[in-house]
Chain A
Amino acid sequence: MTAALAPQKPERPHRPTGSEDGRPPAAGLADLGRGYLDQVRAGELGALPAVAGLIVLCVFFSLLRPVFLSNLNFANLLTQSAGSIAIAMGLVFVLLLGEIDLSAGYASGVCAAVLAILLTDHGWPWYAAVAAAMLTGAAIGLLIGTLVAKVGIPSFVVTLAAFLGFQGVVLMLLKEGTNVSVKDPTILAVANDNLSPVLGWLLLAGCVAGYAVLQLRRSRDRRGRGLAGTPVTLLAIRTGAVVVLGGAAVYLLNQERSRNVIIGSLKGVPIVVPVIGALLLLGTFTLQRTGFGLHVYAVGGSAEAARRAGINVAFIRTAAFVICSCLAAVGGIIAASRGNSVDPNTGGSNVLLLAVGSAVIGGTSLFGGRGRVVDAVLGGLVVAVIQNGMGLMGYTSGVKYAVTGSVLLVAAGVDAMSRRRSARR
């Protein structure tokens, strides 16, 4: 119970609207900082653990293995994690509803197999094959979503069954385990080629400018209406951070990382980076700015409240599974591109676990209602850093799995505890 409620205490006027004198309230930086601290204390950790973990891990590995910081390894890290991040982004939508999709890994495998077979065996152009793979993903999501939302089977069971089923489908598509190679140059470029250095800088400049303009306009609009807008100082700090971090990344990636320049030059931002960036923008826009996104959060927070508010809960559920499987298809395409081929293991083994781990480590709750698409990216990078760094230190896969599993468990523990903390009122 907050003190603000007790009538004998002096009542605090509410800030955002409190402009009876017509002046927009000036929310200072200190206020915002305090608000953020309050949030953290209340169990809303957000991206804090993932960012902190990322920094700690990077420092740790680069001290022990300086090669970790090399340009080549940095680029590798990004391309390694991209497929898993795409799948994790889709899982965020499903996790937000408090559901789970255990089949996302093999769904990506099925889509990758469809892609590879259409490209290689049937000679389809890349765009048609990509469209077919995406449609396959959408169909898979529609099937799972309908079974969960309309028939009412728990998602855990549906997707566990689908996990087995799709494993079988991949085997059948690939004729009991043959390896279908992918030779289409466009598809191969996704995970193996780089933007030209100039294009990398232009892209960064475009992103920064777009970000700054959008934020500034939003803040202006809110202040113009007398609502609390984000202070310009904070906007400047945020934009500055994007410039510094993005600039450093582009600079590093634009360095020559080919071991032998005579054989071929290797520099520039890997193409998967803008691909993931575009998905991140699209996903974030959908969840944070559209009615659909709000309804996803609402259903995850309280399905009954959402139903009474007139939201079509079954539609939201089904749509989330469709989005999840479509993004799994993207992950499958990236995996096919990176592996230059599709085999029965594409999307199998630890792909799903790493993707779920990425989302949860990033801060998406397993209990539904809390999470963002960017969580998948941050968590995916943490997972990739662990895998990559431990590989450099010469640990076996066994140790890597065990450590990644432990990190997932810790993240889920933090999630459960922060949930308890916010429930204890």
Chain B
Amino acid sequence: MTETPTLELRGIDKSFGPVQVLHDVALSAYAGEVTALVGDNGAGKSTLVKCIGGIHPIDAGDYLFEGRPVQVHSPREAAALGVEIVYQDLALCDNLDIVQNMFLGREKRRGLVLDDSTMEEMAAATLRGLSVRTVKSLRQKVSSLSGGQRQTVAIAKAVLWNSKLVVLDEPTAALGVAQTAQVLELVRRLADNGLAVVLISHNMNDVFAVSDRIAALYLGRMAAQVKASDVTHAQVVELITSGRSGDLGPQTTPNGAAA
């Protein structure tokens, strides 16, 4: 396992007006690993993700990408680094087909004309690399896909661009049992292919099924970041609901992550 994390956040503060949402948050995500980001509603997960994705600029703290300190001010800058975020609502165009959605805004062109064949080849290669076998045709419209297939397309779109870090915001929230299993399998495969994956989830089963590390946010602070194998279900739930569990979490004063 590489020593340098793909993404390392240190001491991140973020306020919206008078409301401080993130306090001194630290988070590391390693290549080849799934890092689960858990926390109750309002713990700051979404804000943290938007900071990673460049939608919200951070107020204070260090954003290190592959060990280098970087400044990320816009989604484009994040994408240029190799950071892709798959938001919960997926942002797919129903009336376009799979290939068109995967390349939307970054189409390959040959002069004035779209290079459909090359795009289809690249999309097919990406889906093959992810062992996706559930779509009949890459030329079918997204409106004809099921929820799990849409999630697959959104994730494949994120990894198409040689991305190094993929952040998935509740990818299984709206899915049935079988589709959830399928998407989780895909999430695992992303990490196995060498990407750093940050998975946001409310579902402990999902978290323990795929993640290597678990980072728990509590009221805007990072309660703990631990290896998934070192903790139990109950401990993680405790971290989420009370910010500490036994010797995990801040012991007396909130002075950063303990693990």
Contact = CB atoms under 8 A, between A and B. Distances in A.
Interface of A: 1-2, 4-8, 11-17, 35, 42, 44, 221-222, 225-228, 289-291, 294-295, 297-298, 300-302, 304-306, 308-311, 369-370, 422-423, 425
B107 A294 contact: yes
Interface in B151-182: 176, 178-179, 181-182
B81 interface: no
A300 B133 CA distance: 29
B114 A291 contact: yes
B124 A17 contact: yes
B95 interface: yes
B93 interface: yes
A16 B144 contact: no
Contact of B91 (A17, A44, A308, A423): A308
A290 B91 CA distance: 22
15 contacts: A2-B146, A14-B134, A16-B139, A289-B112, A290-B112, A290-B114, A291-B107, A297-B100, A298-B96, A301-B93, A302-B92, A305-B90, A308-B75, A311-B105, A425-B143
Interface string B101-120: 00011110100111001001
A306 B120 CA distance: 20
B178 A6 contact: yes
B137 A15 contact: yes
**Range of interface residues on chain B?**
35 or more
A297 B76 contact: no
Nearest to B152: A5
B136 A297 contact: no
Contacts of A7: 178, 181-182
B74 to A, nearest CB: 10
Given A14-B138, A16-B139, A302 B91 contact: yes
A227 B145 CA distance: 21
A305 B127 CA distance: 21
Nearest to A6: B178
A17 B128 contact: yes
Given A1-B176, A5-B178, A289-B114, A14 B137 contact: yes
A4 B136 contact: yes
Contacts of A6: 178
B135 interface: yes
Contacts of A228: 137, 139
B32 interface: no
Contacts of A370: 95
A291 B105 CA distance: 8
B95 A12 contact: no
Interface of B: 75-76, 87, 89-96, 100, 104-107, 109, 112-114, 117, 120-121, 124, 127-128, 133-139, 141, 143-149, 176, 178-179, 181-182
A14 B123 CA distance: 12
Nearest to A370: B95
Contacts of B105: 295, 306, 309-311
B163 to A, nearest CB: 15
Given A4-B135, A12-B133, 17 more contacts: A4-B134, A4-B136, A5-B146, A6-B178, A11-B133, A225-B121, A289-B113, A291-B109, A294-B107, A298-B100, A298-B104, A301-B94, A301-B95, A306-B104, A308-B75, A310-B106, A423-B143
Contacts of B75: 308, 310
Nearest to B113: A289
B91 A297 contact: no
A6 B180 CA distance: 11
A227 B117 contact: yes
A12 B136 contact: yes
B120 A227 contact: yes
Given A14-B137, A16-B120, A42 B178 contact: no
B169 to A, nearest CB: 13
Contact of B134 (A8, A11, A17, A305): A11
B154 to A, nearest CB: 10
B135 A305 contact: no
B137 A302 contact: no
A116 B137 CA distance: 53
Candidate in A7, A13, A291 with the most chain B CB atoms within 10 angstroms: A291
B113 A290 contact: yes
A305 B93 CA distance: 6
B117 A294 contact: no
A225 B114 contact: no
The 7 closest A-B pairs by CB, nearest first: A309-B105, A17-B124, A301-B93, A369-B95, A301-B95, A305-B91, A310-B105
A294 B138 contact: no
Contacts of B137: 14-16, 35, 228
A228 B148 CA distance: 25
A38 to B, nearest CB: 8
Contacts of A222: 117
A17 B179 contact: no
Contacts of A311: 104-105
Given A291-B109, A425-B146, A17 B96 contact: no
A219 B53 CA distance: 40
B47 to A, nearest CB: 18
Candidate in B92, B93, B124, B139 with the most chain A CB atoms within 10 angstroms: B93
Given A222-B117, A227-B117, A369-B93, A16 B138 contact: yes
